[in-house]
Structure 1
C-alpha cells in the first residue's frame, strides 16, 4: 500500500512501444485497484485503452492537453489520455516525462 492506496499491478513487459512519432515508452505499466475495478465493472479491456493512448488517440482531453501531448517528445513532457467508460467513470493514462512508467488509474476510489 502506498499513500493509503493499493497498487494492483506493476509490470515490466520486456517491450518498449512508440508513442506518437519517435517518442518511446519503456513498458513499465502500473494499474491502480480503482482502475481495475472500473474496467471490470464496464467490461472494458485496459489494453485497448493503452493501445489508443500509445497511438495518439487521447480520448477526452482539452485542446491544450492535446497540444502538449503533440510536442511532449520534443520537450520531455508527460503524455496524458482520458477516457470515459460506460458508467461515467473516467480512466486516466499517463506516460511519465522520462517514459519510465505508464500509469492507468481511475477517478473513482
Structure 2
C-alpha cells in the first residue's frame, strides 16, 4: 500500500466560513469542499490565469488577500478567499460575491 503525503499548508486559514449557497450544496451532498480547501491552503490556486497566480504567490510573501477558483463540475465553480491578515477563509459561489 502506498502512503499519500499531503502538503503542509503555506498559511493559516483562520476561521473557515461559507456562504448559504455553499452550505446548501454541502447539505445536499452536491459538494465536498475539503479537497478544494486543502488545495487552496497548499498554494494550488485552481483555475486562475498566470497573472492571478503570480498575484497570489506575491500575496503569500506580502500578506495580501489570497484567491482561488475551482471548476468543480461544468456547472459549479467554487471560490475560496483568505483575507490579508489570515483571520478568515471564505468559501463562496461566484454569484454570491
Normalization by structure 1: what TM-score?
0.69
Structure 1 unmatched ranges of 5 or more? 1-16
Would you tell me which structure has more helix in proportion to its own residues?
2
Q: CA RMSD in A?
A: 2.1
SS of residue in 2 equivalent to 1:103: strand
Shift in Å, 1:42:
6.5
Structure 2 unmatched ranges of 5 or more? 1-7
Instruction: Please identify runs of 4+ aligned residues in structure 1 that moved more than 6 A.
Output: none
Would you tell me which structure has more strand in proportion to its own residues?
1
Please point out which of 3, 18, 31 is paired with 1:31: 18
**What residue is the counterpart of 2:53 in the other structure?**
66
> Which is bigger in relative contact order (C-alpha 8 A, separation at least 6)?
2
Distance 1:83 1:39, change over 3 A: farther
